[in-house]
Chains A and B, each alone.
Chain A
Amino acid sequence: MSLIRYQAPELTPWPAPDRWNTLRDELNSFFELPLWSSFPRAGQLFTGWSPALDLHQSTDNIVAVVELPGMRKEEIEISLHDGTLTISGERKRESTDGEKAERTERYVGVFRRSIALPTRVDASKVSATYHDGILIVTLPKAEEVKPKQIQVS
């Protein structure tokens, strides 16, 4: 038995790139139809709720800003595991006795949003605030990843 190094098979010729571009443009233009563009976040229909998340980095902190409109503070869970920040929770429907929803675009139910952090953080010093439907999680960087000046003596 001989051990032969795996070789990638020859690439079969794909259609010329410009054909793909045309196809992509056509697909894009489909999603740019007025119907789709005026329907907010059409993608959520299929994927549930994935709240918009921004990540900022300064010398001392990583700050995550998440748009979570209409939640209660107690319903938001923040966890840190293996360098991944996870924000999860459940948005409950208000009482629906004798009421019917005419149209619902707002997501109701469980959501979960994770993001890998670029550096190590000090899990014991993480803090969070929630105002106007925006969650801000401040994660101080771990001491060993902060830039340090070393003086030559």
Chain B
Amino acid sequence: MNTLTRENRDADRAQTEQFIVPPSSVIEGSDGYTLEVEMPGVNKDALDISIENNELTIIGRRSLPKIEGTLIHHESRPENFRRTFELDPSIGANKISAKIEQGLVTLTLPKAEHVKPRKITVS
């Protein structure tokens, strides 16, 4: 049941483009999982979410605001975001939905019907 949170780090290394691994949270509810990934500077059109071989990949390309003047203090990093997750077999991959609000990607991953907790009444 825990494979949802297992990351595929080798896949990250194989890429030549450098990505930032953004912080994320996984919350388990009774109907499924909620996955939150922080991608400041990414808007809806620059977000690319794909599932291949039961692997969920989220790539966010940043369109950073152009600011006039010289940079006198610098902490941000210019790279794009990328994070991969291995999906638990209990997740109905075709029912995943996503939204992005203020740079926070929220994915809803519902559990397939057969794995939802069920009460069986004794007759």
Contact = CB atoms under 8 A, between A and B. Distances in A.
Interface of A: 34, 38, 40-41, 44, 52-59, 61, 63, 65, 67-72, 96, 98-107, 115, 118, 130-134, 136
Interface of B: 2, 4-5, 7, 9, 12, 20-30, 33-34, 36, 38-43, 63-65, 67-77, 101-104
B102 A132 contact: yes
Contacts of A98: 29-30
B36 A56 contact: no
Contacts of B2: 102
Nearest to B36: A106
Contacts, number: 131
B28 A70 contact: no
A57 B72 contact: yes
Given A56-B68, A132-B103, A103 B40 contact: no
Contacts of A41: 23
